[in-house]
Structure 1
Amino acid sequence: MQIHGVEVEGPVIDGETRCVHYHGEKDRIAIRFCCCGRWFPCHACHEESGCGHHAVWPSDRFGEEAVLCGSCGRRMTVRGYLEGDSSCPGCGASFNPGCKLHRRLYFE
């Protein structure tokens, strides 16, 4: 599904990047996976895609854009997302703070 000019893959259910796995009000980010460069709403969507080469973002690449705000389309660096306050620095939309509990699935 095209969301803010980005092809977000997987079972996306709305225009803010929510998917069948995570679809709460604050579930509104997509992540560009380091292994394939493709955008997905969550780790389960990525796994179901069949990439087969799962890799997390190494810390020396945290300056690269890898997180998309589903509300406004702002792209954030890994560092900016991880160091942020669980909201978009562009539009202020709140992100699910629980997403950071899955950090190890995406980032070193």
Structure 2
Amino acid sequence: MKILLDHNIPHELRPLFPEDHDVYTTQYLGWSGYEDDQLLEAAVEASFSVVITLDRNLPHQQNLRAYNIGIIVLAVHPVTASHLEEQLDRVIEALPHAASERESVVLE
């Protein structure tokens, strides 16, 4: 599965995903400055299955059904690498549903 970590997800989480997942960051791809709609369009064009973000407003600001991609929103606090790492099992568990249904999943 091809996964994109949004600019607000700590880069340190990338290697913690299972080996059968291809995980990229917006920074690595040079997409850090993209607006939400540009990012979603680029992710679809590049055949990503899921975008993972901390942007709680994304589902309200974009018509996500217009994009053929799954979205996982991590609505957690505090936003630290260690706390996000603790949530990684939940993210990995949600990936198949988000990818296959092309839906947004909010994890609180």
Q: TM-score range by the shorter chain?
A: under 0.3
**Structure that is richer in helix per residue:** 2
Return the TM-score normalized by structure 1: 0.24
Flag the structure with more relative contact order, 1 or 2, with Cα contacts below 8 A and sequence separation at least 6: 2
